[in-house]
Structure 1
Amino acid sequence: MTSAVVPDHPWLLPGALAVPTDQVRVGPRRTTRDWIVDGVAFLISLLWVLFVTADATTPDPELAPRLPHDWMIAADALIGLACCVLLWFRRRWPLGLAVATLPLTAFSMAGAIPLLILYFTVVVHRRTAVALAITAAGLCTNFLFSYLRPEPDMPYWVSTVWGVVLSVTVLAWGMFVRARRQLVVSLRERAERAEAEQQLRVAQARQLERTRIAREMHDVLAHRISLLSLHAGALEFRPDAPPEEVAKAAAVIRGSAHSALQDLREVIGVLRAEGGGEEDPERPQPTLADLPSLIEESRAAGVRVNVADLVGAPEAVPAAIGRSAYRIVQEGLTNARKHAPGAAVTVGVAGEPGAGLTVEIRNRWPVGGPADGQIPGTGTGLVGITERVTLAGGRLEYGRDDSGDFRLAAWLPWPA
């Protein structure tokens, strides 16, 4: 299988995004943090090489020399420098470099630190089985190192145990870093998935609201066209009717046709996609004149509703605007029942032709924050209301105001 290539982020485990870690090849791109980490690792390794080389060239005269020949010291220093250079390539080929340099761990003291860093990189970026295999091979070379480079003041087995402890410590640390990075990636994927699902729910709510508005307008349009057919049929049935009756019927036909054309324009503007298979809305459609009955229903359900203002002549409000105002008040009362049970709700609807229609629902913010409530819902009611108001050419505001109350307010255009 072809290996995937992903950037090696400082906190992101390469290949953790649904790709097995043993099939991931770390990409060549480095972040700023990667350059800093690699630079620090290189400097630490270089200082270690210089320290070991200086210590080997000036041995304690009371102890036997650790390397019998000077050329061995120089060779060990060159090996350490080569391992330091290899650190710049460890992100691309961690496993290959670890296997290639594994024999050096049997005798090189100067390359100990850079070789440990290579080993740590393998543990972090490869699956556990590979890390354990490299660890087992490293433990075998550890026995050889203690034999070929014995410490004059330390027994063989003590030196060997310290090497095992160091290897196991690096293994545990690398596995911890690897597990932490996988957890971070998992949490990020979960958050992105939740955000995508929420966006999908919002889009569905908007589409459902468009479909509902279009179907409501369809019913109104059908009603107006039926009036046209009725009066046209009357004229056809009574061609000898008095001129006054003919003029009256023609006026009704003209008004109904004009209203039907307006409704048809609204349907075309709202219905941007084919409707789904939802159930038909209830008939007859509610208008602004049905607000008192809606308020009485809420009061019967135990909600304290105060009416601040209502339009005096609701029949003068255009049907589409009235339906939108009704839906806004309905959503506001529903939210108050769900999230602020027991709180008093104030409803106000005011306006006039040319100035627009203002709808406002206000309730006290519940003590301790909004309640979860037991009323089921999708949490997208306000999204649908926002879409309805926007399509009508109005404005919608909701949230806590300066007094601490929750306020849902909308302005809808009311032609003169």
Structure 2
Amino acid sequence: MVGWIRRGGPAGAGAERRVSRRGGREWAVDIGAFLFAGCFLVLSADSVAIEPGTSKTALFWDQLGGGLACAALFLRRRLPVPLAVVLLLAEPFSHFITGPILVALFTVAVNRPPRVTAYLSALAFAPVPIFLASEPAADDPRTGSSITYFALIAGAIGWGLYVRSRRQLVLSLRERAVHAAAEARREAREDIAREMHDVLAHRLSLLSVHAGALEFNPGASPDQVGRAAAVIRDSAHQALDDLRDIIGVLRAPEDDARPQPVLADVERLADESRQAGTRVTLDVDVTGGPATAPAIAGRTAYRIVQEGLTNARKHGAGPDAPVSVTVRGASGKGLTVEIRNPAKRDGASAGADIPGAGQGLIGLTERTQLAGGTLEHGWDGSDFRLYAALPWPS
């Protein structure tokens, strides 16, 4: 529940300030503060040093002022600073408002900036020099009461500052947790986008190549058309299966994740591209065989080869342009992947009608960096070269 209070702003302009209405918890806290101040008044009544000759009437009005000060604590949420100032200024004229002063100063220390608390602290301790200058006697009861009063003031302000700092710490941790959750969601979306691009771009580019072959060869025999249609159908089914696998891996618990591609699967990628008509030369020289490569490095190398072959189909110089894939690796020396293919710089190629988002190399760079490696890509003469170096600890 929220109420609105209209206050005059600068130059007479109206401004609105939100004031939170008390809920059940707030009422309980305010009643507790009132009872604390009231109990403090009652318990300290016998120890308050009353000036000799004080009449019962004056004492009654003094106690009544203490009671009104306790009741005024219900204004501490809306007017904490004015309330504290009024109580501090009234303290020399009343012996029974110490409890309300403690509650008011605690409220200011909790809910107002430290600078405001410092100002009120200076006001609260302003009588100290006067008290010391009077050279109070150690055996005077008023000396003990004054020292106790200032100690209680210091304790209330210090406790309020502690509560304020703790609340700020909790709020900061909560904000960090929200930020971390948002960052985790963003990384999850990036993982989904990266996996979809790496897998589906490869499958759909194969499908596009086969469909393009049918379009540019209308006189193909029924057997050739049937084989091409079967390849297109299989590629579409594989694309759907790959998409289902991606979503399944991302949704499944970590200990129930489906198998991920490894370095040994690079040969299958090369065969799929050869079936699409691409002349792929694959040279794998890995000490101990591809199966010995680390899982992260092998999976990253697989994605690099996959993206390189996809780009060769989409942006290569022609359907007969060769693509060379070279993989070298050994324990302690690292794993390197190099893909070269001729391509036209103006972007016109046999696969130019296959759309591209231009995000493949960006995502591949991020993937390689996450694996602890580096990725280079660019022109080397008439060839486009994609080169990656991945760590392989000994």
Task: State TM-score, norm by structure 1.
Answer: 0.49
Query: What is aligned with 1:41?
Result: 33
CA–CA separation in structure 1 for the residues paired with 2:23 and 2:128: 34
Letter matched to residue 36 of structure 1: A
- Write the mapping of 1:15-414 to structure 2, written as runs, cut at 5 A: 27-30=19-22, 32-51=24-43, 55=46, 68-141=54-127, 154=140, 157-229=143-215, 231-233=217-219, 235=220, 249-257=221-229, 259-260=231-232, 263=235, 285=269, 297-301=289-293, 377=370
Letter matched to residue 118 of structure 2: L
CA–CA separation in structure 2 for the residues paired with 1:284 and 1:39: 76
Letter matched to residue 228 of structure 1: L
CA shift, 1:121, in A, is 0.9
CA shift, 1:130, in A, is 1.3
Contact 1:217 1:267 in 2 (8 A): yes
Contact 2:41 2:97 in 1 (8 A): yes
Offset from partner CA, 1:198-254 (integer Å, 9 cap, x none): 110001111122222331122211331244246534x4xxxxxxxxxxxxx213314
When residues 66 and 143 of structure 1 are mapped into structure 2, their CA distance, relative to the original with a 3 A threshold, is: farther
Contact 1:76 1:108 in 2 (8 A): yes
- Please state which structure has a larger fraction of its residues in strand: 2
Q: Secondary structure at the match of 1:92?
A: coil
CA–CA separation in structure 1 for the residues paired with 2:53 and 2:190: 76
Letter matched to residue 208 of structure 1: R
Contact 2:87 2:97 in 1 (8 A): no
Letter matched to residue 84 of structure 2: A
Q: RMSD of aligned C-alpha atoms?
A: 4.6
When residues 67 and 186 of structure 1 are mapped into structure 2, their CA distance, relative to the original with a 3 A threshold, is: farther
When residues 160 and 65 of structure 1 are mapped into structure 2, their CA distance, relative to the original with a 3 A threshold, is: closer
Contact 2:65 2:94 in 1 (8 A): yes
Contact 2:87 2:100 in 1 (8 A): no
Query: Mean Cα displacement is larger for which, 155-164 or 97-106?
Result: 155-164
Contact 2:109 2:160 in 1 (8 A): yes
* Structure 2: runs of 5 or more not aligned: 4-16, 244-265, 274-283, 296-330, 332-367, 373-394
Q: Secondary structure at the match of 1:110?
A: coil
Contact 2:137 2:143 in 1 (8 A): no
Task: State TM-score, norm by structure 2.
Answer: 0.51
Offset from partner CA, 1:112-164 (integer Å, 9 cap, x none): 101211011111222222112111111235678999xx999625555433333
Query: What is aligned with 1:22?
Result: none
Offset from partner CA, 1:150-208 (integer Å, 9 cap, x none): 99962555543333333222222222222222222222222221121111000111112
Contact 1:232 1:253 in 2 (8 A): no
Contact 1:125 1:178 in 2 (8 A): yes
How many aligned residue pairs are there? 253
* Structure 1: runs of 5 or more not aligned: 7-24, 236-248, 272-281, 304-336, 338-374, 380-416
CA–CA separation in structure 1 for the residues paired with 2:154 and 2:77: 22
Q: Secondary structure at the match of 1:206?
A: helix
CA shift, 1:30, in A, is 4.5
Letter matched to residue 182 of structure 2: A
Contact 1:142 1:163 in 2 (8 A): no
When residues 64 and 177 of structure 1 are mapped into structure 2, their CA distance, relative to the original with a 3 A threshold, is: closer
Q: Secondary structure at the match of 1:232?
A: coil
When residues 230 and 65 of structure 1 are mapped into structure 2, their CA distance, relative to the original with a 3 A threshold, is: closer
Contact 2:102 2:152 in 1 (8 A): no
When residues 155 and 77 of structure 1 are mapped into structure 2, their CA distance, relative to the original with a 3 A threshold, is: closer
When residues 26 and 227 of structure 1 are mapped into structure 2, their CA distance, relative to the original with a 3 A threshold, is: closer
CA–CA separation in structure 1 for the residues paired with 2:189 and 2:110: 41
Contact 2:98 2:149 in 1 (8 A): no
CA–CA separation in structure 2 for the residues paired with 1:139 and 1:218: 79
Q: Secondary structure at the match of 1:192?
A: helix
CA shift, 1:104, in A, is 1.6
Contact 1:105 1:112 in 2 (8 A): yes
Letter matched to residue 40 of structure 2: W
When residues 151 and 38 of structure 1 are mapped into structure 2, their CA distance, relative to the original with a 3 A threshold, is: farther
CA–CA separation in structure 2 for the residues paired with 1:268 and 1:298: 27
- Indicate the percent of aligned positions where both proteins have the same amino acid: 27
Q: Secondary structure at the match of 1:106?
A: helix
Contact 1:84 1:114 in 2 (8 A): yes
Letter matched to residue 253 of structure 1: V
